[in-house]
Amino acid sequence: MIHTSIHSVDNPAEPGELAVAIRVGQYMLARYGTVDSSDIFAYAQAHGGLAESLRIMLRALGAEPVAEQQAAPRCPAAHPDDPTPCDGPAVVTVLDAANAGANGCEHHGARLLASLDGGRVYALPGAPAGAAIRVFKTAGATRPFAWTERGEGQ
């Protein structure tokens, strides 16, 4: 076990940046070190917590990443509360009963369609063959608002 002082050399009353980073890392690892991979919300929370503690540690060591990676943008069909990533580019348009619509990947297109009454799905130009029918079939087997319950398997 590595022992570190929690006080900086310059100001013994305040914890040093590295000591704080270590404590944050220890806390995050204790809290999120083991996660049930079937619980997508807990998995996403753990990933965020551990990634942030690593950033804090790197900052304290003066070794920040050269370029911070931004989260990949998600398709317009992805609900803001749905933590799941896109499974590819937008390949379908999902329309509701009033003809309002959103383009989406197959995964989020199916989730959106499953959550609509009277929704329809159309393939975008250049979509792989069968994209709209795959979304339609998946939507039929997906419960509406699938992202609202913990442990969702879709």
What the block records as the tokens of 140 is: 């039929």
Q: Are residues 4 and 53 in the same domain?
A: yes
pLDDT tier at 40, thresholds 50, 70, 90: low
Asked whether residue 35 falls in the same domain as residue 100, the answer is no
Query: Could you report the per-residue pLDDT of 88-105, keeping only the tens digit for each?
Result: 999 999 999 888 889 999
Answer yes or no: is pLDDT of 69 > 60: no
DSSP conformation class of 4? -
The answer to the question of residue 81 being in a domain is no
The arithmetic mean of pLDDT across residues 19-39, rounded, is 80
Q: Which domain holds residue 17?
A: 1-70
- Count Cβ atoms below 10 Å from residue 76 Cβ, excluding itself: 16
- Interval 119-124 mean pLDDT: 95
Strands 120-123 and 92-95: antiparallel
Please enumerate in sequence order all residues whose Cβ is within 8 A of that of 118, keeping only pairs 6 or more positions apart, or say none.
Answer: 96, 97
Domain annotation covers residue 14:
yes
Residues 66 and 99 placed together within one structural domain of the fold: no
